[in-house]
Chain A
Amino acid sequence: MKLSVQTKVLALLFSAGLFAGCSTTGENMEEGGYDSDVAAIDQDGGSTVYGGGDQGGISSSSMTEEERMEVQQQAEQQALREITTFYFDFDTSEIKPEARDVLVAHARFLSSNPSQNVRLEGHGDERGSKEYNLALGERRANAVERFLIVNGASRGQMQTVSYGEEKPAVMGSSESAWAQNRRVELDFE
């Protein structure tokens, strides 16, 4: 069943609302929780929005301006999409602010290319428990997936997997190594 994007967004917002409601008594939710990454990013300032130009077809000079802007934007988007690895802080699956623009670019790309599939691989650093890290990696991958869906990608295009701490990007037991291993990688097939 093919749903429109708006309906999908509404459905996701609904389920996000449900998640927010389901908390056990007496537990402290970590500030920011897991819903923050589900907030629709479109309300944020500073992101470029594709849309029908308001100033369309006035003078020959403005058309060139638009064309140039469009080309520039596309170039920017492409540059952003070079980034396919997203990092996380210890024991959290919260998407960092600096990742959001990039992910939006990916989302838009996926949205525009429905036949494009991507695999999201979640990872964690080596510390702590293997099994817990496996679940944490999955949660990170899911967080990225949700974000992409909210921003235009469709679920069918995406596949998530978690490797936990089993496939580090960087060997070693330093803060820097650990930081580089707490990641989600986008693998465009």
Chain B
Amino acid sequence: MIHRISFRPSKALFAAVALMLLVATSARAELLIRVTEGADSAIPVSVVPFAENGSMPAGDKVSSIVQADLAMSGEFRALPPEKMLSLPSKRADVFFRDWRLLGQRYVLVGELTRSGDRVQARYELFDVNREERILGETAGAPASNMRSLAHHISDKVYEAITGVPGAFSTKLAYVTLDRTSGQPRYRLQVSDIDGKRARIRLESKEPILSPAWSPDGKKLAYVSFETDKPVIFVHELGSGKRTKVADFPGLNSAPAWSADGQSMLMTLSKDGNAEIYQMNLQSRKLTKLTNHWAIDTEGAWDSSGDGIFFTSDRSGGPQIYYMAKPGAEPRRITFGSRYNARPRPDSTGNYVYYVHQRDRAFNIARTNLKNDEETVLTRTESDESPSVSPNGRMLIYATKQSGESVLTVISADGGAAYSLPASEGDVRDPAWGPIVR
């Protein structure tokens, strides 16, 4: 006789299991406190002046550059070194209690060692409350390039705390106008994020407009009036070689590189009125993307590389529009005022920044692309030319200060403004360079 075995878990077993689970989950009713708002201010951070072994090159100290970088982001408030109770350079010397008393959240300590014409930096970042080291690295650079070393450290510190890569090693391109010597002198310049190490790339008696970085950070496109009309050039920064890419009758303006660097959006009016075209930089073949009697200009690729934001006044005044792909039916994005122009989408795909008229003032605003919410970010009178940092966390724009145009950096949500030290004359039309590894 054969026994058939079947599996039917007994009811008792189920009951037992259920009872056990019930006992495990029914803890006493626990108090739950919800914190939904944080401090409205910047994170207190201490950048302790690095210890130095050997003679250091002249110029700003590495730690003060890092401190300035973090402050510029608008997200950190650095403790002045004179307020520090101690100046540690390694873990053993860090007494967290001291830093806690000062209300600090993070402490950066480090040491610089000179060897020949190189400088080594060993640095560590500590979370004061958790008493943990969250970053530790050694990095080296030629003694002539200390600023780059400092910006590298800033990038790492920023990323360790916020989770977002820092953009402090990127470059800025902008145009200055010098009117002091009778004749106006326009200069296209490239500098560090803090305005330092500025180098003139082009000098002209006629206006230079709209510098645009290639995705690899090696070239700049811009509009030059050197032939008494707007013409688009591509300028290789390494060699200084220039190539004319658009010189059609009428406008040649608003250049914008594609993500792969192979094509460029541009505004041309050769067919009667200002329209947006896409030009293949190799073949110089043009594709017309807009077709409307209105002004269509300032094309800008979105973060995905598929869609294009642009300015159009087809509804009466300039507004921001979006094409899901080149040549697609445009959709209007801005409705909040009668003047919205120069869209600059960020790399996250969450926001687009633009010039926005509010009452009589022109400010920078941004629209949240997920929920169409518009926020005005600046409170000054005459703002223009917004450009977003490649990590989406900062924004630079030009604003009028005592009759002259200066550049200002704000955090992307509009907090904390940081004015770049004004170089000579009028500084305008900033373009934030890409992160290059």
Contacts and interface: CB of A to CB of B under 8 A. Distances in A.
Contacts of B313: 91, 132
A163 B355 contact: no
B419 interface: no
A132 B357 CA distance: 14
Interface string A119-137: 0000000111111101110
Contact of B295 (A30, A136, A166): A136
A138 B209 contact: no
A96 interface: no
B160 to A, nearest CB: 37
Given A128-B357, A139-B295, A27 B230 contact: no
Contacts of B381: 173
Contacts of A132: 295, 297-298, 311, 313, 318, 341-342
A25 to B, nearest CB: 10
A135 B274 contact: yes
B400 interface: yes
B382 A173 contact: yes
Nearest to A126: B382
A155 interface: no
B251 A135 contact: yes
Contacts of B347: none
Contact of A138 (B274, B316, B317): B274
B302 interface: no
B204 to A, nearest CB: 11
A171 B342 CA distance: 23
A28 B316 CA distance: 7
B50 interface: no
B251 A173 contact: no
Contacts of A171: 403
A163 to B, nearest CB: 7
B170 interface: no
Contacts of A161: 228-229
B311 A129 contact: yes
Interface string A158-177: 00111110110001110000
Contacts of A23: 293
Nearest to A31: B316
A34 interface: yes
Nearest to A90: B339
Which of A23, A30, A127, A172 has most B Cβ within 10 Å?
A127
A28 B318 contact: no
A128 B384 contact: yes
Contacts of A136: 295
B177 to A, nearest CB: 9
B207 interface: yes
B314 A24 contact: yes
A29 interface: yes
Categorize the interface residue count of chain B. Answer: 35 or more
A106 B228 CA distance: 24
A128 B251 contact: no
Contacts of A167: 207
A142 B293 CA distance: 13
B403 A173 contact: yes
Contacts of A14: none
A131 B403 contact: no
Interface in A93-130: 126-130
A186 to B, nearest CB: 16
B317 to A, nearest CB: 6
Contacts of A139: 273-274, 295
Contact of A134 (B230, B273, B315): B230
A134 B209 contact: yes
Interface in B305-326: 311, 313-318
Contacts of A126: 382
21 contacts: A19-B293, A22-B293, A91-B318, A128-B339, A128-B357, A129-B318, A131-B254, A131-B297, A131-B311, A132-B313, A132-B318, A134-B297, A135-B267, A135-B274, A135-B297, A138-B269, A138-B274, A139-B295, A161-B228, A173-B381, A173-B403
Given A29-B316, A91-B313, 14 more contacts: A24-B314, A27-B314, A27-B316, A28-B315, A128-B318, A129-B318, A129-B384, A129-B385, A130-B209, A131-B253, A131-B267, A132-B297, A134-B251, A135-B253
Interface of B: 207, 209-210, 223, 225, 228-230, 250-251, 253-254, 267, 269, 273-274, 292-293, 295, 297-298, 311, 313-318, 339, 341-342, 355, 357, 362, 381-382, 384-385, 400, 403, 428-429
Interface of A: 19, 22-24, 27-30, 34, 91, 126-132, 134-136, 138-139, 142, 160-164, 166-167, 171-173
